[in-house]
Structure 1
C-alpha cells in the first residue's frame, strides 16, 4: 500500500472512531482491512480515492459497511470522507464494555472541523448510555457536543438511568 493510500485508510478509521468518545481505544492500533468491489484512487497529495460496491472496513472491533466511500485530500492531508449506503452501518465496541451501533443514509466526516454528520434516518445507539435519532445528527469531536434535528424533522433522544435497579425475580410468584 502506498503512503497516500495508507493515509486514505486512516481517514476512514478516523471517521469511524469519531462516532463516540468512548470507542474502544485499542482499535486505532489494530490493522485495518478494507474490501470493496472497486477502487479508483489517485496517489497524489491532492487526489481523491473512491471505493464502491459492498465497502467493508474492519479495524479491531470497528466494522463499517457502506455502498461507497469517497475520501478527499488536499495538500497531502485528508480533508474529508463521505460514506453513503442504504444505509451506512457502523458498529464498534466501547471501552466500557457496550457496543455502539449507528446507521444513516450518509456519514460525512470533516477532518478540518473535527465533525461527523449523520444524515438520512440517522440513529446512534449506545446501550447503557442511550440513543439519538433524527434526519440529521452532528457530532463535534473537539467539544463532544451532539446536535440533532434538521429538515423539519424531529429528533428523538432516549436516556438510560445510570443506576438501573435489577429486575425483580417473579418466577416464584413472590413480589
Structure 2
C-alpha cells in the first residue's frame, strides 16, 4: 500500500492541529504555534458538521519543532470551540523543542489525551517524559495541567513492584554551573590550601 499525504478540508486539519499541537503545552516553543501543521496518514475521515476528524495508519503530525507519531489520532471540537484529541499507538511518541532553550522534550505512552477546555494533557499506559540532559520520569500515568503548571505521575494499581509499571521512576540531573561563578554566587569559596591535614 502506498503512503500518501491526505488533503482534507481546512477545518479538519485546523482541528487536529489545535488539539494535538497544544498537547505539548507549556513545554512547547511558542514559535511552533505560528507554524503550519502537516499531517500524514494512510487513511483519514472527517465530519465537518460534527467537527471531528480521524487519522489512521502511521500518522505523523508536525508543527515547527513538534512531531507526534501515532497509529491513530482522533480530534474533535465542541460547540464552545474547545479542542480535544486522542492519540493511540504502540507507543504514541512526541518530540518538541522547549521554549527559550536548545533542549528537546520527548514523551511516549500507549495513549495521549488532550482536553483544551481544562488545558490537561494525560499520558496513559507506559508513560514516559524525558528532557535532553538526563531528566526522565516514567509511570503508568502522567498528567500535565498547563493552566496550573502541575505534573502528576502514578504507578499502575496492583502492578508488581518490580515491574516497569509498578513504581514511579524519576531521574533528575543537577544543573551545571561554572566552577568559579557558581561557588561565588552561593557564597561558598574554596578552602585555603593550608586547611586540613597534610598527607605525606
Q: Which residue of 2 aligns with 1:157?
A: 170
TM-score, structure 2 as length reference: 0.74
Q: Does structure 1 retain, via aligned residues, the 8 Å contact 2:44–2:56?
A: yes
Question: Aligned residues, how many?
Answer: 162
Q: Does structure 2 retain, via aligned residues, the 8 Å contact 1:22–1:96?
A: no
- Give 3-state SS (helix, strand or coil) of 1:77's partner: coil
| Structure with larger Rg | 2
Q: Does structure 2 retain, via aligned residues, the 8 Å contact 1:71–1:78?
A: no
Cα distance between partner residues in 1 of 2:77 and 2:96:
26
- Give 3-state SS (helix, strand or coil) of 2:149's partner: coil
Matched, 1:126 2:126: no
Q: Does structure 1 retain, via aligned residues, the 8 Å contact 2:139–2:156?
A: no
Matched, 1:142 2:155: no
| Structure 2 unmatched ranges of 5 or more | 1-7, 158-165, 180-200
| Structure 1 unmatched ranges of 5 or more | 167-175
Q: Which residue of 2 aligns with 1:52?
A: 56
Q: How far did 1:160 drift? A: 1.2
Q: Which residue of 2 aligns with 1:171?
A: none
Matched, 1:32 2:37: yes
**As a proportion of its length, which structure holds more strand?**
1
Q: Which residue of 2 aligns with 1:114?
A: 119
Q: Does structure 1 retain, via aligned residues, the 8 Å contact 2:18–2:83?
A: no
Q: Over aligned residue pairs, what C-alpha RMSD do you find?
A: 1.9
Show structure 1 runs of 4+ deviating over 4 A. none
In structure 2, do the counterparts of structure 1 residues 47 and 26 end up closer, same or farther at CA, with 3 Å as the change threshold? closer
Moved more, 92-101 or 127-136: 127-136
2:73 to 60, 69, 76: 69
